Amino acid sequence: MIDVQTAALLCSGCFILVGLYAAIFLDNIIKKIIGISFIEEGANLFLITLAYKPNGVVPILLPDMSPDWFITNSAYPLPQALVLTSVVIGASTLAVILAITMVLYKKHGSLSASKILGDSNE
Amino acid sequence: MNDLIPLMVVIPIIAAILLNVLHGKNSLVKIVSVIIAICLPLILLLSNYGLHYFGGHSPLIDNGDLLNSFPSFISNTNLSNLHIGITYYFGGLQKVMLFFLFLLGFLAIFTTINERKRSSGSYMFLIFMGLGSVTAMLLSDDIFHMYIFFEIAITAQVGIILSSSDDQKYETAMKYMILGSIGGPILLTGIGFLLGLVGSVNITDISNAVKSGLIDPFSPVFLFSFGLIFFGWIYSVGLPPFHTIKSAIYSKATPSGSAILQALSVIIFLSFGLAILRIYSHLPFVNGFIIFFSLCGMILSITMALVETDLRRIIGFLAVGELGYLGLGFGIGTKLSITAALFQGLNELIITALLFIGFGAILYLTKTSNINKLGGLIENHPKIAIMVLIGGFAMAGVPPLNGFQSKLMLIQSALNANFPELAIIMILISIVTFMTFTKIFHAVYLKPKPQDLKIEKTLVPRSVIFSIAILLIICIVLGLMPDLVVKDFSVFVGGLI
Amino acid sequence: MIEYIVMIIGVLGSILALAQRDLLKASILTGISGGCVAILFQILLAPDVALTQAIVGAAIVPVFLALAIYKTQRVGKDD
Amino acid sequence: MDIYTMIHNSVQNFQNKLKKDKITNENVSSSIAAELTIISTILISSILLRHINVMLTVLIILGLGLYLITNMPLISKLKKEQDDSLNKMMFYVILTLGILVSVVYWGVL
């Protein structure tokens, strides 16, 4: 049985690969966008997994813990603080893309990427 | 006063939010945006050079009392050198770059206000947000901080594209967002690899860890992080294969918008490029990678610019191709070449802004940008024609202007570093750039006027002429006295290597 | 054991979401895998990020997607 | 067939596909300039390989020169590959990512 950290790394890799597949090969724009959100989730999961410590504690210093014990046993809080920002950024980027999609649908009446985003010179 | 350093980022962002709230109140938006745009360069002049630690979190080693209270495995090792909080560094390079960036922002805002009857608070929001975010990228010493503001800058860029009136703007913005959503998380994953290896995202800490042998520069994780971050870098600056989308977004925005977009790209190029050089300069193949992609960018962009028929697209390709010079300077990697690349970046910021605004006036007058349908405009607007011509000379590197100085420095550095081929290619490409420029200048101004060319408006707004003139004066002054800025740059580079 | 099950559900949910013809179902499945990632964050000792991810990944993203689908078309005709 | 006619025809081919513009002298001459630029710059930049191996450089330059000159109207092919369609952009982006990562990974092994 592989340990949790390795499994979570593999899981984040799967998310990134599935997302890349969707963003590249699927034609429907909404599905491309869903794929993009999976890529972002995979990257966030990767960062969080780096911070994990097997049998560790949550990085919150409670009154009954001694600092020395806490330093050696807690998960690393820096990546968690970073991911918090990156989750929000991902959501706002998604909102912008979806807004553009709605305008494009109104203009073309289709969600097919090869129809809308094909060569503009034709 | 080092406390003024974060204000360079905070004030544009607060201004952006304020102007977005004020949207609809026409005269108030105008007054507030112009006042803030004038105030921004003043902050630069008032603040001192130095470091600013956010929240006062300086490294432990600077703080004796706190250091002694920690166990010995922290206080006696390299851990006490780590930067705990976000650090901003403000020096000569940042001062010069940001001064010209803010000046460009002021000109763009001024031009937009004069061009449109109703000034839009949202557009001002986008411009200020872009300016603030690239300022943070240039000041920051923290690669994740750079990533965050990079994403904000990209979103602001998309907004600036959407605010134009081109009929292909939504498609281009959508493509840019989709490609960006692949490039961004990949960059983040690369940063994650670095973070897992070093435990810090501070660039100084990472490069110290590599220098002191704390991490092996040939470990797979470090190499992999290089690959991913490098991919993020070529995405963010528009080297191939992203040169098509980058030139497309320049050609879809409004003229002053394109100038801002290009300025944002140049600053992003410089800040990520310097970060990559500081972290990975110990790897032997990094310079080769940078040189290879820059060469591809220069060759492909310049040849595409030659065969393109859309005026704005040609300038977009030229602007992307000029970024290759910066890349070559970084790739050669000597002190002189990096200084020259920084100087070239500054020149490019100004010259491409001049060309975008100058040829944008043509679009404003005739509503077409196909060079086959244009011609004979010199009799209507000789002043603009001459100023744009001098701008083109500056881009191609004709002696008394600033482009000449930086390209001469680049060529000298290539020769000194035993890369004569690169010097030959730089000269060749600058000749072809000049040829492309003559082609569009001939097509727009000198060729006999076609029968079906309708001139919709007779007068160019005075603010456009004013902006072009200011940019031209900067070109000439920097060309005659390059030491004004080069001294600061070489001091910065001396501290870097 | 539960963490492995959550990971498998998350990845399977993402693959299933992309295999749907009905885009509304796809958006709901996106929410499921977003929720799984939130639970994983909790397991990986990041409770504060898990809270944010639970709101963003399991509620806001699917709602945004559903709104966009409501305004455009529900069935992906050509994929 | 001289070189001007050859390039005129190739320009005509790809412009007919894209737009209904008439071919001007400028289009053809700038295409010739682009053609010469691309051949000369690629050949000169391949001299940079001498830092790796001199013999290899000679072989590559000879091969490249022969290849480029026999496939003469290069620019129309390049132009077709660099249009604004998302699929083509995405293809090259993923190609670059793959090559970059595998070259770096090769360096590891």
Q: How far apart are CA B497 and CA B83, in angstroms?
A: 20
Q: How far apart are CA B199 and CA B202, in angstroms?
A: 9
Neighbours of D108 (CB within 10 A): 12
pLDDT (0 to 100) of residue B167: 82
Specify if C26 maps to a domain: yes
Under a CB-based contact definition with an 8 Å cutoff, are residues B460 and B383 in contact?
no
CB contact (8 A) between residue D21 and residue B372: yes
C-alpha distances out from residue B102 to B12, B39, B132, B270, C47, Å: 10, 9, 10, 16, 41
Whether chain A has a CB inside 8 Å of the CB on C52: the answer is yes
**3-state SS string over A8-49?**
HHHHHHHHHHHHHHHHHHCCEHHHHHHHHHHHHHHHHHHHHH
CB contact (8 A) between residue A86 and residue B178: no
Q: Can you name the residues that pair with B202 across neighbouring β-strands?
A: B142
Under a CB-based contact definition with an 8 Å cutoff, are residues A52 and A5 in contact?
yes
Give the closest of B240, B428, B439 to D40, CB-based: B428
Give the closest of A24, A114, A119 to D83, CB-based: A119
Q: How far apart are CA B77 and CA B95, in angstroms?
A: 35
Under a CB-based contact definition with an 8 Å cutoff, are residues B342 and B489 in contact?
yes
**3-class DSSP state for residue B369?**
coil
pLDDT (0 to 100) of residue D21: 57
Q: How far apart are CA B359 and CA B258, in angstroms?
A: 11
CB contact (8 A) between residue A48 and residue C46: yes
CB contact (8 A) between residue B307 and residue D79: yes
The encoded tokens of residue A97 equal 């893309």
Under a CB-based contact definition with an 8 Å cutoff, are residues C76 and A31 in contact?
yes
The encoded tokens of residue D69 equal 């000159």
pLDDT surpasses 70 at D20:
no
Under a CB-based contact definition with an 8 Å cutoff, are residues B127 and B108 in contact?
yes
Specify if C77 maps to a domain: no
Q: Chain B: nearest CA to D104, how far in angstroms?
A: 6
Under a CB-based contact definition with an 8 Å cutoff, are residues B326 and B249 in contact?
no
CB contact (8 A) between residue A4 and residue C65: no
Domain ranges across chain A: 4-116
Q: What is the pLDDT of residues C24-77, one digit of tens each?
A: 888 889 999 999 999 999 888 888 899 999 999 888 999 999 998 888 877 765
pLDDT surpasses 50 at C79:
no
Contacts of A23 in chain D (CB under 8 A): 90
Whether chain D has a CB inside 8 Å of the CB on A120: the answer is yes
Chains in touch with A (3+ beta-carbon pairs under 8 Å) read B, C, D
pLDDT (0 to 100) of residue A119: 64
Contacts of A32 in chain B (CB under 8 A): 178
Specify if C78 maps to a domain: no
Chains D+B touching (3+ CB pairs under 8 Å): yes
Under a CB-based contact definition with an 8 Å cutoff, are residues C69 and C24 in contact?
yes
**3-class DSSP state for residue C22?**
strand
CA–CA–CA angle B384, B389, B392 (5° rounding):
130
Give the closest of B170, B184, B192 to A46, CB-based: B192
Give start and end residues of each alpha helix (H) in C1-79: 2-19, 23-43, 47-55, 61-71
Contacts of C26 in chain A (CB under 8 A): 30-31, 34
pLDDT (0 to 100) of residue B37: 87
Q: What is the pLDDT of residues D24-82, one digit of tens each?
A: 777 778 888 888 888 888 888 888 888 778 888 889 889 988 888 888 777 777 887 77
Q: Chain D: nearest CA to B481, how far in angstroms?
A: 32
**3-class DSSP state for residue B140?**
strand
For the four alpha carbons of D92, D97, D102 and D104, in that order, the dihedral sign comes to positive
Contacts of C78 in chain A (CB under 8 A): 27-28, 112
Q: Chain A: nearest CA to D26, how far in angstroms?
A: 21
CB contact set of A87 (below 8 Å; sequence gap of 6+): A44, C49, C52, C53, C56, C57
- Pick the residue of A29, A38, A76 with the most C CBs within 10 A to test the interface with C by mutation: A38
pLDDT (0 to 100) of residue B135: 92
For the four alpha carbons of A51, A55, A57 and A63, in that order, the dihedral sign comes to negative
Q: Can you name the residues that pair with A74 across neighbouring β-strands?
A: A57
- Pick the residue of D17, D19, D76, D90 with the most A CBs within 10 A to test the interface with A by mutation: D90
CB contact (8 A) between residue C65 and residue A98: yes
The encoded tokens of residue B280 equal 């990975």
Structural domain containing residue C56: 2-71
Give the closest of A39, A82, A117 to B174, CB-based: A117
Tell the residue number behind the tokens 């600036």, with chain if given.
B160
Whether chain A has a CB inside 8 Å of the CB on C9: the answer is no
Please state whether B368 falls in left (phi above 0), alpha (psi between -120 and 50) or beta. Answer: beta
Write the single-letter amino acid at B137.
Answer: M
Q: Chain A: nearest CA to D34, how far in angstroms?
A: 21
CB contact set of B153 (below 8 Å; sequence gap of 6+): B130, B133, B134, B137, B264, B268
Whether chain A has a CB inside 8 Å of the CB on B231: the answer is no
Residue of A nearest to B188 (CA): A43
Q: How far apart are the first and last CA of chain C?
A: 37
Among the listed residues B290, B306, B278, B293, the one whose alpha carbon sits nearest the alpha carbon of residue B371: B306
Q: Which class is A4-116 in CATH?
A: mainly alpha
Q: Can you name the residues that pair with B52 across neighbouring β-strands?
A: B88
Tell the residue number behind the tokens 């010097």, with chain if given.
B423
Give the closest of C47, C57, C79 to A28, CB-based: C79
**3-class DSSP state for residue B52?**
strand
Residue of D nearest to A24 (CA): D90
Under a CB-based contact definition with an 8 Å cutoff, are residues B362 and B377 in contact?
yes
Contacts of D30 in chain B (CB under 8 A): 306-307, 435-436, 439
- Pick the residue of D86, D88, D93, D95 with the most A CBs within 10 A to test the interface with A by mutation: D86
Q: Chain C: nearest CA to A11, how far in angstroms?
A: 6
Contacts of B142 in chain A (CB under 8 A): none
Q: What is the pLDDT of residues A43-59, one digit of tens each?
A: 999 999 988 888 888 88
Q: How many residues does chain B have?
A: 497
Please state whether B397 falls in left (phi above 0), alpha (psi between -120 and 50) or beta. Answer: left
Task: Report residue A57: phi and psi, to 5°.
Answer: -120, 165
**3-class DSSP state for residue B85?**
coil
Domain count, chain C: 1
Domain count, chain D: 1
- Give the mean model confidence (pLDDT) for residues A11-35: 89
pLDDT (0 to 100) of residue D109: 58
User: B255-280 vs B92-115: helix axis angle to the nearest 10?
Assistant: 160
- Kindly give the confidence (pLDDT) of every residue in chain B, 497 residues in length, as a single tens digit, with 9 standing for 90 and above: 577 888 888 898 998 888 888 887 888 888 888 888 888 888 888 888 888 888 777 777 777 777 777 777 766 777 777 888 888 888 888 888 999 999 999 998 888 887 776 777 788 889 999 999 999 999 998 899 999 999 999 999 999 998 888 788 888 899 899 888 888 899 999 999 988 888 888 888 888 888 888 888 888 888 888 889 999 998 888 888 888 888 888 888 888 888 999 999 999 999 999 999 888 888 888 888 889 899 998 898 888 888 888 888 888 898 888 888 889 899 888 888 899 999 999 998 899 899 888 888 888 888 777 777 777 777 778 888 888 888 888 888 888 888 888 889 899 999 998 888 889 998 989 889 888 888 888 888 888 877 777 777 777 788 888 889 999 998 888 888 888 888 888 888 887 76
Among the listed residues B129, B133, B156, B131, the one whose alpha carbon sits nearest the alpha carbon of residue B145: B133
Q: Chain D: nearest CA to A36, how far in angstroms?
A: 13
pLDDT surpasses 50 at A96:
yes
CB contact (8 A) between residue D44 and residue B226: no
Q: How far apart are CA A62 and CA A66, in angstroms?
A: 9
Q: How far apart are CA B265 and CA B263, in angstroms?
A: 5
Whether chain A has a CB inside 8 Å of the CB on B77: the answer is no
pLDDT surpasses 80 at D14:
no
Contacts of B201 in chain A (CB under 8 A): 78, 82
**3-class DSSP state for residue C44?**
coil
Average pLDDT of chain D to the nearest whole number: 79
Chains C+A touching (3+ CB pairs under 8 Å): yes
Give start and end residues of each alpha helix (H) in B199-280: 203-211, 220-237, 243-252, 255-280
Count of A-C CB contacts under 8 Å: 138
**3-class DSSP state for residue B193?**
helix
Structural domain containing residue D22: 3-82
Q: How far apart are CA D35 and CA D46, in angstroms?
A: 17
Residue of A nearest to D15 (CA): A121
pLDDT (0 to 100) of residue A121: 47
Under a CB-based contact definition with an 8 Å cutoff, are residues B326 and B348 in contact?
yes
Chains in touch with B (3+ beta-carbon pairs under 8 Å) read A, D
The encoded tokens of residue B174 equal 């959508």
Q: How far apart are CA B305 and CA B316, in angstroms?
A: 8
Please state whether B89 falls in left (phi above 0), alpha (psi between -120 and 50) or beta. Answer: beta
Specify if C21 maps to a domain: yes
Whether chain A has a CB inside 8 Å of the CB on C66: the answer is no
Specify if C76 maps to a domain: no
pLDDT (0 to 100) of residue B268: 92
Specify if D96 maps to a domain: no
H/E element holding B71? none
Among the listed residues A37, A95, A35, the one whose alpha carbon sits nearest the alpha carbon of residue C20: A35
Q: Can you name the residues that pair with B251 across neighbouring β-strands?
A: none
Count of A-B CB contacts under 8 Å: 82
Chains D+A touching (3+ CB pairs under 8 Å): yes
Q: Chain B: nearest CA to A40, how far in angstroms?
A: 6
CA–CA–CA angle B199, B201, B204 (5° rounding):
105
Q: How far apart are CA B139 and CA B267, in angstroms?
A: 11
Under a CB-based contact definition with an 8 Å cutoff, are residues B155 and A93 in contact?
yes
Half-sphere exposure of B307 (CA within 13 A, CB side): 32
Beta strands B50-53 and B87-90 are antiparallel
Give the closest of D19, D86, D94 to A117, CB-based: D86
CA–CA–CA angle A35, A40, A42 (5° rounding):
95
Tell the residue number behind the tokens 């929720």, with chain if given.
C35
Write the single-letter amino acid at C22.
Answer: D
